[in-house]
């Protein structure tokens, strides 16, 4: 048996980012610029920062701190624990929890100053009992204006607003709803939801109102109300059908483990679903569906590719290179035959998505959307955050 070798820490002077199998670069300067652009487009309305799903997969702590320093003071998270974490990075911000509150969470909401978004009649009754026992605490009300997801039914919400017996300890600081087709400016249902929400805003006169996320902001001032909630636009992905995204924020890369020669006629990856039509050079990259790089982005061998639709592309040495064969758990194969041999070698990195391969292009190749690709990033990425002053 070989004895273990002792290494001095000075023997390892390399940056973990420079040797990681998969790595993610997050440009916080671009994140801030995107948020400020959405704030500009929101006119006089305040502009929140959305940090749910670990800031769309890019890191709640770093993204939250950057947006707070940029001036954001209203934040939305999905669950209570995200709000508890964020509080350390946004000390005097108003933090809304979109899933509302459940019995047993009261202490955390009060101690950390979190604002539950009340999403149902059951939560409303519970929250009123909580404030009656523990004292006034702000909340928000989610109203369903046609999404049929979360929220108080429209007519019940309006009746509640007009109920003179409503306890004084119940103090909503925001009424809100959500557009189901904000990414489609041509949808007449946007106007239908707007008209429904205008009734809500009138019923809750004096309480700030919020309707629009990223796409809704571009529908015009009528949709802005008092607070807008841009999400995916801030993170650099598409948010309105047919409209170019703002600045790319995230760059995901996988390291090339091996470059191998493969003869024409041979097959590639599981199921032998791709047969080479020329002598080829293949880059075997240490990224797969365990890293959130979807199997459905494969070049062949999955149902979504059955109609001949091409799979995803990567980018290396100023060249777009296609995925060939099936994406596997830990590995993806790219055809780098068209990259000059001297321009690429094992140990280099292929961009999976970023400034040269748009996240939404990869998502489309996988039959999904940029939201899912970003929020599916796995735990193995070594991360580097680029701050505005870097």
Q: How far from 365 is each of 290, 322, 357, CA to CA, in Å?
A: 18, 11, 12
Which residues, in sequence order, are bridge partners of residue 335? Answer: 282
Q: How many helices (H) and strands (E) does the chain have?
A: 12, 20
Rounded to the nearest angstrom, the gap between the alpha carbon of residue 385 and the centroid of all alpha carbons in its chain is: 16
Whether 298 and 323 have beta carbons less than 8 Å apart is answered as yes
C-alpha–C-alpha distance, residues 370 and 91, integer Å: 31
Which residues, in sequence order, are bridge partners of residue 141? Answer: 118, 175
Q: Which helix (H) or strand (E) holds 268?
A: strand 267-268
Cβ-based neighbour number of residue 277 at 10 Å:
8
Q: Which helix (H) or strand (E) holds 155?
A: helix 154-161
3-state per-residue secondary structure call for 236-284 = CCCCCCCCCCCCCCEEEEEEEEEEEEECCCCEECHHHCEECCCCEEEEE
Q: Positive or negative, the Cα torsion across 65, 243, 369, 148?
A: positive
DSSP secondary structure letter of residue 177: -
Q: What's the number of CA atoms in the CB half-sphere (13 Å) around residue 206? A: 3
Write out the catalytic residue numbers: 52, 270
Q: Which residues contact 76 (CB under 8 A, 6 or more apart)?
A: 48, 49, 50, 51, 52, 95, 96, 98, 229
Whether 147 and 196 have beta carbons less than 8 Å apart is answered as no
Instruction: Give the chain's length.
Output: 390
C-alpha–C-alpha distance, residues 280 and 301, integer Å: 19
């Amino acid at each position: 048996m070989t004895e273990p070798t002792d290494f001095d820490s000075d023997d390892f002077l390399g940056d973990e980012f420079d040797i990681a199998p998969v790595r993610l670069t997050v440009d916080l300067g671009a994140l801030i610029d995107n948020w400020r652009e959405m704030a500009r487009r929101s006119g006089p309305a305040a502009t929140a920062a959305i940090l749910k799903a670990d800031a769309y997969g890019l890191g709640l702590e770093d993204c939250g701190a950057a947006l707070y320093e940029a001036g954001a003071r209203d934040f939305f998270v999905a669950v209570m624990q995200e709000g508890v974490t964020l509080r350390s990075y946004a000390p005097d911000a108003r933090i809304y929890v979109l899933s509302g509150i459940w019995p047993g969470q009261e202490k955390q909401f009060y101690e950390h100053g979190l604002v539950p978004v009340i999403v149902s009649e059951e939560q409303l009754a519970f929250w009123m009992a909580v404030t009656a026992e523990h004292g006034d605490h702000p909340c928000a009300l989610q109203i369903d204006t046609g999404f049929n997801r979360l929220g108080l039914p429209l007519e019940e919400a309006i009746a509640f607003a007009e109920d003179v017996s409503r306890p004084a300890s119940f103090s909503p600081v925001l009424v809100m709803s959500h557009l189901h087709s904000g990414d489609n400016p041509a949808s007449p249902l946007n106007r239908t939801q707007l008209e429904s929400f205008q009734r809500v805003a009138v019923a809750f006169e004096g309480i700030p109102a919020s309707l629009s996320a990223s796409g809704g902001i571009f529908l015009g001032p009528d949709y802005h109300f008092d607070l807008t909630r841009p999400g995916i636009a801030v993170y650099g992905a598409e948010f309105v059908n047919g409209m170019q995204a703002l600045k790319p924020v995230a760059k995901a890369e996988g390291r090339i483990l091996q470059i191998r020669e493969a003869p024409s006629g041979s097959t590639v990856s599981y199921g032998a679903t791709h047969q080479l039509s020329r002598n080829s050079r293949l880059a075997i990259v240490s990224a797969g569906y365990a890293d959130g790089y979807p199997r459905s982005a494969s070049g062949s061998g999955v149902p979504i590719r059955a109609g001949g639709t091409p799979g995803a592309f990567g980018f290396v040495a100023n060249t777009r290179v296609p995925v060939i064969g099936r994406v596997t758990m830990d590995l993806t194969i790219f055809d780098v035959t068209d990259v000059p041999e001297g321009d690429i070698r094992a140990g280099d990195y292929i961009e999976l998505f970023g400034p040269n391969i748009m996240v939404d292009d990869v998502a489309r190749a996988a039959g999904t959307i940029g939201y899912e690709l970003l929020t599916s990033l796995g735990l193995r990425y070594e991360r580097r955050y680029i701050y505005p002053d870097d």
